[in-house]
A = this chain, B = another copy of it.
Amino acid sequence: MAKGETTRTRILDEAVRLASRDGLQGLSIGGLAAALSLSKSGLFAHFGSKEALQVAVLEHAGARFRRLVLAPLSDIPAGRERLRTLLQGSLDWMDDPEFKGGCPIFAACFELDDREGAARDALVARQHGMKKFLVGLFGEVAGPGADLEQAAFEFRAITLAYHFATRVLRDPSARTRTWKAFEALLERVTGEPSAP
């Protein structure tokens, strides 16, 4: 990587960490410069504006999600195991100790839902992409008459509930509950008992 690219990656790694804790709105070029011992003017040269920084942070977090959670799925044959691997990867992603404030993408979703702009647009486009991807994965296992959009909606419901149970309630049974809900969903979608 060129030096500029390495610096940019280092900046964005830190920015994703800070955004997980303080939110995208809480992320300032000044605060980031201080955390990294870089000059504010240097950071401005990289991103130009707070909004451009927010978009870059979302893209950086999204790229990390694709690398850590989605890429390994291509090694797994189409079927239930692929969906299980996606759920496992998603739970591990939410528990990543890098993210002091939880999944930076969910955090941004709750923060930007009512704020128009480029950051929201980037986030929503990503979420629509993820929904399409889920519809495809459920399509690989669906029984007759299964509603794939519904399955994608409920998969998201389950991951949101995990995030809530583990981070807000600190419920030690959060993973067990999450898997039980997921296997019940899989049974409905496939029309078959969900033996592993």
* With contact pairs A157-B158, A164-B156, A184-B188 given, residues A21 and B114 touching in the complex (Cβ less than 8 Å): yes
Asked if A88 is an interface residue, CB under 8 A from chain B, the answer is no
Cβ of A179 to closest chain B Cβ, rounded Å: 11
From residue A132, how far is it (CB to closest CB) to chain B in Å? 12
Q: Does A150 contact B (CB under 8 A)?
A: yes
Give the residues in chain B near A180, CB-CB below 8 Å.
147, 150
In the complex, whether A113 has a CB less than 8 A from a CB of chain B is yes
4 smallest CB-CB distances across A and B, nearest first, come from: A157-B161, A113-B167, A160-B160, A157-B157
Count, chain A residues at interface, CB 8 A = 41
Tell me which of B106, B107, B153, B161 contacts A165 (CB under 8 A). B153
| A164 to B128 CA separation, bound complex (whole angstroms) | 12
- Across the interface, do B147 and A153 meet the contact criterion of CB distance under 8 Å? no
Once bound together, how far apart are the Cα atoms of A188 and B23, in whole Å? Answer: 38
Contact A102 to B114, CB < 8 A, known contacts A149-B177, A150-B177, A164-B109: yes
Instruction: Let me know if A195 is at the binding interface, CB within 8 A.
Output: no
